[in-house]
Amino acid sequence: MTQTTNRFLDEFAKLMTDAAGAADGLRKEAEQVFRSQGERFLREMDVVRREEFEAVKAMAEKARAENERLEARIAELEQQLAQSRTA
């Protein structure tokens, strides 16, 4: 009886191991399908990648800082011009 029980448990353990392996394979395959579908959806929606967004954001910040610097310089030059006209 002990031998039969052990054989049954061995077979059951093997079955459970195979089932766990199959479930893991299905999980990986499902993740791949969802990932590829998500990437396709984003491509079709023409969504900007994070790296591209960050690059454009940095360019805009630099341009804004340059614009502020130029505005200050223009104000300074206008003030100098106004003072030279009154003198």
Q: How far apart are CA 20 and CA 64, in angstroms?
A: 57
Of 16, 78, 70, 30, the closest CA to residue 8 belongs to: 16
* Alpha-carbon distances, residue 84 vs 21, 74, 76, 78 (angstroms): 86, 15, 12, 10
Does one domain contain both 78 and 60?
yes
Does one domain contain both 12 and 36?
yes
Does one domain contain both 29 and 12?
yes
Q: What is the pTM of this model?
A: 0.48
Does one domain contain both 42 and 8?
yes
pLDDT in tens, 1-39: 455 568 888 888 888 888 888 888 888 999 999 999 988
Does one domain contain both 43 and 7?
yes
End-to-end Cα spacing for the chain:
118
pLDDT in tens, 33-63: 999 998 888 888 888 889 999 999 999 999 9
**Tally of structural domains, the chain:** 2
Q: How far apart are CA 62 and CA 70, in angstroms?
A: 12
The set of residues, in sequence order, having a beta carbon less than 8 Å from that of 48 and lying 6+ positions away, is 56
Q: Residue 11: what pLDDT?
A: 85
3-state secondary structure of 86: helix
- Domain carrying residue 34: 1-47
Does one domain contain both 6 and 16?
yes
Does one domain contain both 54 and 36?
no
